[in-house]
Structure 1
Amino acid sequence: MGSKVELFARIRRDARVEGLSIRALARRHGVGRRIVRLALDSAEPPPRKTPVRVARQLEPVKILIDAMLSEDLQAPRKQRHTVRRIFARLADEHGFTGASYSTVRDYVRVKRVEIEAGAGRGPEVFVPQEHAPGAEAEVDFGDVWVDLAGVRTRCYLFAFRLSHSGKAVHRVYPTCGQEAFLEGHIDAFDVIGGIPARHIRYDNLSSAVTKVLYGGGRQRTENERWVLFRSHFGFDPFYCEPGISGAHEKGGVEGEVGRFRRNFLTPVPAVESLAELNGKLRAWDRSEDSRRIGNRINTVGQDFAAERPYLAPVPVEGFDPGLVLTPRVDRSALISVRTARYSVPVRFIGRRVRVSLRATEIRVFDGRTLIATHPRTVARGGQCVQLDHYLEVLRIKPGALPGSTALSQARASGVFTPAHDAFWAAVRKTDGDAAGTRELIDVLLLHRSMDARDVVDGITAALRVGAVTADVVAVEARRAASERGTVRGPVDQSGPGPAEIVQHRVLSLTQRRFADPAAVIAGLPADKRPLPSMTAYDRLLRFPDRAAAPDPVPAREGNAS
């Protein structure tokens, strides 16, 4: 092509400068007069014509190939003819071997498109779309595996993405049920500080749709609680077409789930709890504000800052995303929720309670009073038991504490600390097993009204001075709370100021009495009083001389010695 362009340029220059005729130009440059005329008409040489190959050897079987391709219009997608299958059928069924495989392949490639286009099944065309700021968002779930407390567990990644800016919110839940679906929306609305004003795009997922009405456009029968949720927050849903054909209608979030999983959840994350993982996801979402999508000039954070004013406000009133259940409390003070069991205070045994089952926790209510909160148990058949729920019955049955499930889980979670164990061991040495365990339970009851750190400080102080009683722990815990400023309840403003508060400590009198004067406890002087004596009390006896000697045995009457 380059040499022909140069030839055309020389011909045009000679004609322009020297005024040569077509015959003379053809003779000088050694070309035909047709080429000269083409050069004089246009500086760009005409494209080279590619001859159309006609596969004459296929003429006898073209009608057979066309029939096979037409049959494919009604066949399942995975059972349509491949080129190899067509080539094999021509040879096996019709004895045709007059054409090569490549010849059949070239004909099928062109003819298949013509037949599908004639039946209205041509390639789908996508029209570029513009998304107004604050108008639309997309939501989807994706599978993700997590090493949860050392166990590889299948979880679900919730993704919410604003269509205009690309700002996305991600959360991982142990389920993709409706409670996780609603909770993910609430978290997303809180993060972006608003609600899309036009609509949010969804698959036909069962958390929102109970029935797809075919033939009725995008009409759906929706879940009643989902209708209540979107009515509360004031947004409209947009349901995509069922199946793969509707995936492109929310292609932004479809690609977002995979991109986020590859970049942040690979390799498989290892965490102790989903709360820990979701804390990391919040940090990763914030770091995404500096990312640029495609060839955009602005970052995600810059586009989101411009989009935020167009979002609808979030309602002031909250919405409980939990699934409401009403199980009965069994004789072990446990309720069954889905495939797990959770404890409640023993005073509710035999009664029905109301449970709000959320994606990451469950809340148990008696009427409107919250009586228990547990993290949601992922393991099938698992138990979540709190020691505090059994303290009243353990005070009556102290022997049940050492082997109880509640104590085992309290130790594992760190609620029952080594300080508690040390106090329990010390008090059992002095008071015995039953009385010592009851004393420990009195200490555990302090956690209901005092901060856990203050109670542990009180236990440590009681062990230090050798006064292992619940009263001493309470006094020392209150002193620690005053120093830390964690005292619960109203504060008397008329009392002395901080400079006037007198600090009191529990002291061991035995330790103080025999202390070395060089290391006196709490700055007190050594006790130099003599040891107590009973001499003064002995003087008060009626017969002091006889008090030291035993009385003689009197003789019996009637007997002579």
Structure 2
Amino acid sequence: MKHMNKVPFRMVFDNLSAAVAHIGSGKDRILTEGFKRFVEHYGIEPVFCNASAGWEKGNVENKVGYERRNMFVPVPTILDFDQFNRKLLKCCERDMQREHYRKGHLIADLFEADRQAMLPMNPIDFKVSRFQAAKADKYGKVMFETNLYSSSPKLAQEHVYLEITSDSVTIMDIKYNPVVTHCRLYEKDGESMDWLPYISLMLNAPMQLNIQAFIRNYPRYGRTTWQSCHQRRRGKPSLL
């Protein structure tokens, strides 16, 4: 919708668990709180497929197959999803410059006619995230699910808040001020480390931090640089 800068006034959904908390009889659905906020935010009328009636969305499945055959062969290597999605949208826009197989008009022209009939886009983005309270350990690291995320040594043993999306984890202090944003990890027992808050404290107030504990985990290529800076500023022998 953001790419189109318009919102369809009526959208058909499958009975995905993120949207439907309970399937009643006929078209009756109990929606999740998050999905209700989403449709109200954009003014969408949601309509749902019948349960166990896959043939109702056969046209959509055919379109998915078309995209796979034409835009995902050979299988792409994706290093940055945002960059890849921008590239994919450009591919779709180029693909619309062909005639519709049945209507005899360019797909781009048909799409523009549909777009003009849509609702205006809400200028305020709908944030798809959840919040969770946590407590940082003695190094200012926070555990979420099975992975560790760094915050700041100033937050060691402090209560913090996490704003979690599908691809990011933002750590905030007790007043909801963002401290650092990490790419969300999905493996088990992983760790995401942003060294900047720690380096700043190690250089300016080294006695407030167990430097050796952090330097042992610091990327090897940066240890020599840090040691040189620390010696020049403090005039003390190396800790390494």
Match of 1:209 among 20, 38, 58: 20
Q: Which residue of 2 aligns with 1:290?
A: 97
Q: Which residue of 1 aligns with 2:197?
A: 389
Structure 1 residue ranges, 4+ long, deviating more than 6 angstroms after superposition: 428-433
Q: Secondary structure of 1:225's match?
A: helix
Q: Secondary structure of 2:149's match?
A: strand
Question: Aligned partners of 1:342 and 1:292: how far apart in 2?
Answer: 50
CA-to-partner distance for each residue in 1:394-429, whole Å, 9 max, x for gaps? 34244344422xx33xx7xxxxxx7x6774575588
Question: Aligned partners of 1:430 and 1:314: how far apart in 2?
Answer: 55
Gaps in structure 1 of 5+ consecutive residues = 1-188, 412-417, 438-561
Match of 2:6 among 194, 203, 223: 194
Measured after TM superposition, the shift of residue 344 of structure 1 is 0.8
Q: Which AA in structure 2 matches 1:232?
A: H
Q: Which residue of 2 aligns with 1:226?
A: 35
Calculate percent identity across the aligned residue pairs. 22
Measured after TM superposition, the shift of residue 321 of structure 1 is 0.7
Question: Aligned partners of 1:431 and 1:306: how far apart in 2?
Answer: 66
Q: Which residue of 2 aligns with 1:308?
A: 115
Scaled by the length of structure 1, what TM-score is found? 0.38
Could you say which structure has the larger radius of gyration? 1
Q: Does 1 or 2 have the higher relative contact order (CA < 8 Å, sep 6+)?
A: 2
Residues paired across the two proteins, number: 233
Question: Aligned partners of 2:104 and 2:164: how far apart in 1?
Answer: 44
Change (3 A) 1:239 1:339: farther
Question: Aligned partners of 1:348 and 1:426: how far apart in 2?
Answer: 27
Pairwise CA RMSD: 2.8
The question of whether the paired residues in 2 share the 8 Å contact of 1:200 and 1:235 is answered with yes
Match of 1:280 among 87, 103, 109: 87
Question: Aligned partners of 1:308 and 1:399: how far apart in 2?
Answer: 59
Q: Which AA in structure 1 matches 2:99?
A: R
Q: Secondary structure of 2:120's match?
A: coil
Match of 2:178 among 370, 373, 378: 370
Change (3 A) 1:423 1:379: same
Q: Secondary structure of 2:154's match?
A: helix
Measured after TM superposition, the shift of residue 221 of structure 1 is 1.3
Q: Which residue of 1 aligns with 2:137?
A: 330
Scaled by the length of structure 2, what TM-score is found? 0.83
Change (3 A) 1:328 1:398: closer
- Match status 1:269 vs 2:76: yes
Measured after TM superposition, the shift of residue 207 of structure 1 is 0.3
Match of 1:354 among 158, 161, 164: 161
Q: Which residue of 2 aligns with 1:235?
A: 44
Change (3 A) 1:313 1:428: closer
Measured after TM superposition, the shift of residue 206 of structure 1 is 0.4
Change (3 A) 1:352 1:255: farther
Gaps in structure 2 of 5+ consecutive residues = none
Measured after TM superposition, the shift of residue 240 of structure 1 is 0.4
- Structure richer in helix, relative to its length: 1
